[in-house]
Amino acid sequence: MDFISIHRAAKKAALLSTQKNITQGEKMPFLNDKKHWRKKDGEFIHPDMVSVDKQLEDEVVEKLIIGAINLQNGMKAFKIAAFEECYGFVDLLRQKYNMERITSKSGTVVLKSFDGTKVVEIQVTKLISFDQKLSLAKEKIDEYLTEKTTGADAEIQTLITRVFDVKNGKVDAKQILSLKSYPITHPLWREAMNMIDDATEIAGTKSYIRFKYRKNGEVDGTLEHIVLDLAGLEITAEDEEKIKKGHEL
């Protein structure tokens, strides 16, 4: 057996083992030692005091939450395995050309099926943050706008100042850095841009893995994302019909 075959077999065995462990699922506790039901205030009552509709509602929620947790664990295991498979393949390619193994997971990885109808893509983006000098840069930009902006430039002023709006406790790094593309040569503006450079810090990286395929396996078809987010997962009438008939999607 060659090295690639051994690597593939080991990965498959590890994934199957992980999937077996996450499918057990445990019912979340809601009874005390007397089999009394726990209420929202933490107190317990006899099950006879719980209406039938509330018991049925509890049963539905318990079952679905257990299923959701198992699904989440399965997705985590799949994501970990997918990253390992992709970077493992890159390592095999590097080994083939007598190159050292990758020591940091950075950069884009794009793997395609032989006919190009399926694609797995990893993207690594930098997480950008800013220190206190960003506030100084904002003050310097305000100085520039006060000096240069006229009534006719009110719209431009609004666009520039809106870049510094805080959402969820953060400014939009892309919007902040986009200011550097403005063809403004005024000394105050250039000074502010230098401050933004000094204020910029790389807080880390975040990796994304995406799966795409061409529906119906057509080599010239449009690549579509395989949605793994329940909220963004579209279910068609055809999908519903398959579910009702007990078939897999």
- Which of 66, 82, 103 lies at the terminal end of a domain, its last residue? 103
Q: What is the enclosing helix (H) or strand (E) of 111?
A: strand 109-112
Instruction: Give the tens place of pLDDT for each residue, 208-226.
Output: 999 999 988 889 889 999 9
**Is there a single domain that holds both residue 98 and residue 140?**
no
Phi, psi of 22 (to 5 degrees): -95, -5
- Which of 84, 103, 122 lies at the terminal end of a domain, its last residue? 103
Q: Look-up: residue for tokens 């989440």?
A: 72
Does pTM surpass 0.85?
no
- Which of 49, 83, 103 lies at the terminal end of a domain, its last residue? 103
**Is there a single domain that holds both residue 223 and residue 147?**
yes
**Is there a single domain that holds both residue 80 and residue 5?**
yes
Range of the domain at 151: 105-229
Q: How many domains does the chain have?
A: 2
**Is there a single domain that holds both residue 19 and residue 50?**
yes
213 pairs with which residues across the strands? 118, 224
The first and second tokens of residue 21, run together, are: 């462990």
**Is there a single domain that holds both residue 91 and residue 186?**
no
Instruction: Give the tens place of pLDDT for each residue, 2-38.
Output: 444 544 555 555 545 444 444 444 455 578 989 999 9
Return d(Cα 192, Cα 161) in angstroms, integer.
13
**Is there a single domain that holds both residue 91 and residue 81?**
yes
